Amino acid sequence: MNPENFDLNLIRVFLAVAQHRNVTEASRRLHLTQSSVSHALARLRAVCKDPLFVRSRGGMVPTAVALAMVEPLEQALRSVRHTLHGATPFDPATDDRQFRLLMTDVGQSTYLPPLLEYLSAHAPQVNIQVLHLPMDAYQAAFVKGEADLAIGYLPTLYSGFHRSKLFAVPQVCMLRAGHPDIHGSISLDQYLAATHIVVEPFGRGPGVVEKALTKARLQRKVAVRLPNIFAGPLIVRQTNHVMTVPAHTHFLHEELTGVQMLPLPLKVEIMDIEMLWHERTHHDSGNRWLRNVIAELFSTPPPGALEPRVE
């Protein structure tokens, strides 16, 4: 192989096939024809003197040689992209850059619709890849160059990172409108006597409510623990359980009849919704542009969110 004549596009093809284990899907993601991807694989096989991928019922299975190539080539491609992004000014009107954002399930529903609406109007070639990872995996994703920006409640302090506060949001109680014991407001005694739906995303650790209860030496009765919030409103509507949620999750109940939102009768930490990014992208023109857009769109709580209560 003559390195000076090597086509770097072959790396993109190799990594796409390695990720999707399917030539058709790889060609779709790369916006190439299947014959182009197959031809590129043939060239790679000749260069590497290895089949690289073997057909099976589960798709294109990588050989040992291919598996050993994946991580070094991913790192090389990230390095090339980072170098090019830093060397050329970002133009939102024409650039086709992909930004990789870390968000929770609530974040995706809250922030993506207005952000994508803005991009459609002002940066039509830009696209977003959402990464849904446990909170304790965020730092590694940034360090490896797999993520560009995180948005949400990010209480963990990371060294080597920058952060910017967008807005603050309190917790509220979600319960069915026809609850037999709670009408219009909820006292602390009623809150502690009720049965609760608790959302515990993997890797996040104790939430602000759990911390406040522990500090006050109080306990609530947990009926069910969920890994995400979306089944909660449906359960609330059909039971007498109470679920405590951030106030800006109004989108969960806008179309859901029979559900009410009441102020939480417990003093808890007000959640700061923030952006977080790594030092390596701090001066990147594209990342800086995206941060400015997000700050403009979300400098105040989304419509419908309750204002934090003054204790």
| Burial (0-12, 13-18, 19+ Cβ within 10 Å), 42 | exposed
Query: Is the confidence at residue 48, as pLDDT, over 80?
Result: yes
Residues in the chain: 311
pLDDT of res. 249: 72
Q: What is the mean pLDDT of the chain?
A: 86
pLDDT one-digit tens code per residue, 237-274: 999 999 999 887 755 555 567 888 899 999 998 888 99
Chain center to CA of 60: 28
**One-character DSSP codes across 197-266:** EEE--TT--S-HHHHHHHHTT---EEEEEESSSTTHHHHHHHSS-EEEEETTGGGGTTT-TTEEEEE-SS
303 — pLDDT class (breaks 50, 70, 90): low
> 55-64 — which CB contacts under 8 Å span 24+ positions?
58/21, 59/20, 59/21, 59/22, 60/17, 60/21, 60/22, 60/23, 61/21, 62/18, 62/21
What's the confidence (pLDDT) of residue 153? 87
